[in-house]
Amino acid sequence: MKALTATNYNFPGQQSVYHGKVRDVYNIGGEKLVMVATDRISAFDVVLPKGIPFKGQVLNQIASSFLDATADICPNWKQATPDPMVTVGVMCQGFPLEMIVRGYLCGSAWRAYKSGVREICGVRLPEGMKENQKFPVPIITPTTKAEIGEHDADISKEEILKRGLCTPEEYAILEDYTLRLFERGTQIAAKRGLILVDTKYEFGKHDGKIYLMDEIHTPDSSRYFYSEGYEERFAKGEPQRQLSKEFVREWLMDNGFQGKEGQQVPEMTDEIVSSISDRYVELYEHITGEKFVPQDTEDIAARIERNVTNYLNA
């Protein structure tokens, strides 16, 4: 199994390229974006040294499916998926925010809560909560969108408006879309025996209208629990069975890495890489209800170049 960890294309009409943590985004004529979901994986805002086979295909196909399944809630950027690892869509001017919505207290929010924090991003949290407990209603805890090498930072609605990152009217729309998208994702997950625990959305403007951008409801942007056994595990204070990147973070933390200065990424053995790949495929099959069909990995870069070039020329 091979993984695609870097791209360097020159597509028809290409003006520029942006290499993100896990996706490479090509600007076509200042109008379209070609987003390549590579097999790179990041945690604690650090890109890990090895790629994960099929990760890009899994993320792109899940995101594509959910963009189609939520298009009635808000407009989104997607136009086509010419390759299993590529989405082509309209170019948007992105808000410098990630709209994170949480239905349950876990992950970084739980770690903060356990240390005594009772307010996240201006949202007051109830006393006496336990790990993995469901919030009375989902809460929105935005972060700033970090540049490469920087860390995302929590930010409150008040601070967003104070800094002029969007207008009050725009924020009201972002908040409304975020909660409605999360509700739809929750409903779809429930049909598959999963709980959508938390996720993030990114939005931008195109022709004066707010669009949903980027990926949606993938294991890179979301956390899922299995519904079966949730209540029993919660009552006993046991860890939940989950499908997300959290298991990667936990493996890193267990091996002394949290992205802090001076820390070394632990060795990514073939066994670790394979187990992460298996988890991504498992999530794909659970959330879509379809069997994963792995694409040929013999020369991924050439396949993508051929498929995208044919699409753009057509």
Range of the structural domain that residue 81 is part of: 14-92+269-313
Q: How far is CA 313 from the centre of its chain?
A: 30
Q: Are residues 228 and 145 in the same domain?
A: yes
105 and 234 in a single domain? The answer is: yes
pLDDT at 246 (0 to 100) = 76
Cα–Cα distance between 301 and 305 in angstroms, integer? 6
Please indicate, yes or no, whether residues 83 and 104 belong to a single structural domain of this protein. no
Q: How confident is residue 283, by pLDDT bands cut at 50, 70 and 90?
A: confident
Chain segment 4-25, per-residue pLDDT in tens: 999 999 999 999 999 998 999 9
Given 244, 277, 301, the domain boundary residue is 244
Region 149-171: what's the mean pLDDT?
90
Residues 117 and 80 placed together within one structural domain of the fold: no
Sheet hosting strand 32-37, strand order edge to edge:
14-19, 23-28, 32-37, 86-90, 78-83
Residues 59 and 176 in one domain: no
Residue 292 lies in a domain: yes
Does one domain contain both 61 and 144?
Answer: no
Residue 295, domain member (yes or no): yes
The mean per-residue pLDDT over the stretch 140-144 comes to: 96
In a domain, 8, yes or no: no
Do 127 and 181 reside in the same domain of the chain?
yes
Is 254 a domain residue? no
Residue 166 CB coordination number (10 Å): 20
Mean pLDDT to the nearest integer, 94-108: 96
Supply the CATH number for residue 275's domain. Answer: 3.30.200.20
pLDDT-derived band of residue 147, with 50, 70 and 90 as boundaries?
Answer: low
% of the chain exceeding 70 in pLDDT? 98
CATH number of the structural domain spanning residue 98? 3.30.470.20
Q: pTM to 2 decimals?
A: 0.89
The DSSP result for 49-67, as a single string, is SS--TTHHHHHHHHHHHHH
When mean pLDDT is compared across 51-55, 87-91, 150-154, the lowest value belongs to: 150-154
- Domain count for the chain, please give it: 2
3-state secondary structure of 218: coil
Beta strands in 235-302 (DSSP E): 242-244
Let me know whether 105 and 140 are in one domain: yes
